[in-house]
Structure 1
Amino acid sequence: MSPSRPSSRSHATKSKAITLPLPSYAQLSDADEAALSELFRKGTPANTLRAWERDLAYIAAWKMAVFGRPLTWPEEEAVALRFILQHAQDLTESPGPAQDAALELIAIGLRRELTAPAPATLDRRIASWQAFHRMRNLPSPFSAPLVSQARQKARRANARRRVAKSARPITRDVLTTLLATCDDSHRGIRDRAMLTLAFASGGRRRSEVTALNVEDITLSDFAEKGLVWLRLLETKTTRPGDAPRLPLKGPAARALVHWLEVTALKKGPLFRPVSKSDRPLPRRLAPDALRVILRHRLALAGLPQDYASPHGLRAGFLTQAALDGAPLAAAMKLSLHKSAIQAQKYYADVEITDNPATDLLGS
């Protein structure tokens, strides 16, 4: 995954941040640096690693197109500054080396258009670049004052209105409509269990749902309390060492137990493909399967297939929590948001006339 690593001795010659070579006793050995990289891999979610790889491929191709040289570690401040400046402007009507490089990236499928990428996209690519510097215990050029200032100005210059990840939140009423299309076939039972679990457990991401195993489900409290416990080994904000346990109640718990009963699954992937003959297959669903299932259910419900995306289940959970007057902190315990500011955006999107705080004096 990671690019070729130069020797420790060459680090000092390729960065303005280090003016004198470190003494040998202060340098990491090749084995130490390899162990450091492996530590990052083990402590980083698979989706994040894939994003880093894609971003690094883009960055490496960009530098080759602009400078005719591969990436160096640590990278030069001048290269980082040029990267920011070229991605902070619309290159549509700007012929020259920057446009030529962008066209080259478009030709090989790494860039879509000549307009400036969204600030969030630029921030993510820079964050990936910085992550590879941290992986090698090297200073990042993006911490230099001039580069940092240019990045802030680029972000302000290309600020865009926030666009929701899903066209609409899938609130309780919408979810009920989708569930009405689920029959008693294996496919219908699976889809009902997946959709209710994704919503009721805090608005789970599609990769988290498809990554679940039967062993992650605890049914010991179901007979007495109607409660199912769900263990998430790895999420975007948690690691295997602190895997959260989340409760499922009511229809979501019953739908999941029904799926386990009719399939008699004891171990392995929790949610699986269903054959045309309505037989559950032994392999795991693809990470993007929830998107396909959601589109199918939207079509059966008479709604456009682009009515909502899987993120609509996450947005719908928080939106419904706001509509029902649930405290933000309580909703975050299930959604596993680390940032109250991020979670609050869903509460802020609720129509103000529907806010339960407007009814404090009653009708």
Structure 2
Amino acid sequence: MKPPVSPPALPLPQALSDEDEAALSDLFRKGTPENTLRAWERDLLYIAAWKRARFGAELAWPEEERVALRFVLDHAVDLSDTPGPAQEAALALIGAGLRRTLDCPAPATLDRRIASWRAFHRMRNLPSPFEAPLVAAARIKARRAAAKPRQPKSPRPLTREVLERLLATCDGTFRGLRDRAILMLAFASGGRRRSEVTALYREDIGTADFAARGLIWVRLLETKTTRKDEAPRLPLKGRAAVAVMDWITQAGISAGPLFRPVSQADRVLARGLRPDALRHILRHRLKEAGLPEDYATPHGLRAGFLTQAALDGAPLAAAMKLSLHRSVVQAQKYYADVEIEDNPATDLLG
């Protein structure tokens, strides 16, 4: 076994420059989603640190093609058994907490960092070095070399059958009321992401139509595919609407965060849930239902919604209106995962 290699003590940037901070602020004013801004900031910090470690220089605008090419090549191979400047730079990034291992990064990670780098070139109205033919060709080869079978974000989709098992474990305590409401809202409103659910406020829930129609409206101020000025309103009806209204009424939620922590004494706290709270709630309910805690992740609710829509014969376009997928190709994958014998089209003659 090879002895562990200590990361070299290289001075790496721990914060963005004033110019980059100003650029981020400009993007924010233009209405870029906050999650995208955070991703760009992390990526730019990584890229700046990599160039400092690899070339001993700061980022240039526009960046040189040779630097862009080297970035692609350094992130297209496993550096564990490849001593040299690329490995030394990677070790420096690990020492700075910006990289985890010397393994070859996933193609999606490389693509995202390059997309962030290109975005900052566009902000400055500068040509991107990644458009150069040699760099573009290297990206294609790197992606093919590192390609792996697509791994789902959740081991299994939480379809209606499984969700019913989880809901059956939710009793009449505040914790049970909250967990029932949050799981049903996340599933029935189109398979919401955990960050979207935990960010909801009471003011985002429209209840004017509940008494007459059993319908409530869920406003999402910001999602992965929409901005604050495009806040969609999604309908929630039936049992899901009743579950949310039961939680609001019995917990006395008149304003502020919609979903909140519940103490061990079954007391509803004033603050909102943390972004990863849905993961803990789901793991608890899976265990209570007699399933492994790692049976599914919160994304299983999103995958389960689309999978159930396919099983029930709902048109893809109709499901996408709730899930807010922009890519038909991406949404279609869930429909394609449905076993052929379960496809409703096989029952056209009964």
Q: Same fold (TM over 0.5)?
A: yes
1:137 offset after TM fit, Å? 2.8
* Alignment match of 1:152 (pick from 115, 140, 156): 140
- Equivalent runs, 1:239-254 vs 2, <5 Å: 239-254=227-242
Does residue 41 in structure 1 map to residue 28 in structure 2? yes
Does residue 200 in structure 1 map to residue 188 in structure 2? yes
- The residue that corresponds to 1:5 in the other structure is 19
Distance, in Å, in 2 between the alignment partners of 1:55 and 1:305 is 32
Does residue 95 in structure 1 map to residue 83 in structure 2? yes
Percent sequence identity over matched residues? Answer: 72
- The residue that corresponds to 1:268 in the other structure is 256
Distance, in Å, in 2 between the alignment partners of 1:303 and 1:264 is 32
* C-alpha contact 1:37 1:136 (8 A) present in aligned 2: no
Unaligned stretches of 5+ residues in structure 1: 7-32
Distance, in Å, in 1 between the alignment partners of 2:237 and 2:153 is 27
1:88 offset after TM fit, Å? 0.8
- The residue that corresponds to 2:149 in the other structure is 161
Instruction: Give the match's secondary structure for 1:123.
Output: helix
Instruction: Give the match's secondary structure for 1:228.
Output: strand
Distance, in Å, in 1 between the alignment partners of 2:37 and 2:298 is 21
1:247 offset after TM fit, Å? 0.5
- The residue that corresponds to 2:298 in the other structure is 310
Distance, in Å, in 2 between the alignment partners of 1:144 and 1:352 is 44
Distance, in Å, in 1 between the alignment partners of 2:273 and 2:231 is 22
1:147 offset after TM fit, Å? 1.4
Distance, in Å, in 2 between the alignment partners of 1:4 and 1:156 is 37
Q: C-alpha root-mean-square deviation of aligned residues, in Å?
A: 1.6
* C-alpha contact 1:37 1:135 (8 A) present in aligned 2: no
1:40 offset after TM fit, Å? 1.2
1:85 offset after TM fit, Å? 0.6
Which stretch shows the higher mean deviation, 258-267 or 141-150?
141-150
Distance, in Å, in 2 between the alignment partners of 1:126 and 1:249 is 42
* Alignment match of 2:63 (pick from 68, 75, 89): 75
Q: How many residues align?
A: 335
> Partner letter of residue 5 of structure 1?
E
- How high is the TM-score relative to the length of structure 1? 0.89
1:322 offset after TM fit, Å? 0.4
Distance, in Å, in 1 between the alignment partners of 2:321 and 2:17 is 38
- The residue that corresponds to 2:175 in the other structure is 187
> Partner letter of residue 352 of structure 1?
I
- The residue that corresponds to 2:246 in the other structure is 258
* C-alpha contact 1:234 1:243 (8 A) present in aligned 2: yes
> Partner letter of residue 157 of structure 1?
A
1:69 offset after TM fit, Å? 1.3
* C-alpha contact 1:185 1:278 (8 A) present in aligned 2: yes
- Equivalent runs, 1:1-363 vs 2, <5 Å: 3-5=17-19, 34=22, 37-42=24-29, 43-362=31-350
Which stretch shows the higher mean deviation, 283-292 or 341-350?
283-292
- How high is the TM-score relative to the length of structure 2? 0.92
- The residue that corresponds to 1:16 in the other structure is none
Instruction: Give the match's secondary structure for 2:326.
Output: coil
Instruction: Give the match's secondary structure for 2:217.
Output: strand
Distance, in Å, in 2 between the alignment partners of 1:92 and 1:316 is 38
Distance, in Å, in 2 between the alignment partners of 1:3 and 1:324 is 52
* C-alpha contact 1:194 1:271 (8 A) present in aligned 2: yes
- The residue that corresponds to 2:3 in the other structure is none
1:2 offset after TM fit, Å? 5.0
1:37 offset after TM fit, Å? 4.5
* C-alpha contact 2:222 2:228 (8 A) present in aligned 1: yes
Instruction: Give the match's secondary structure for 2:19.
Output: coil
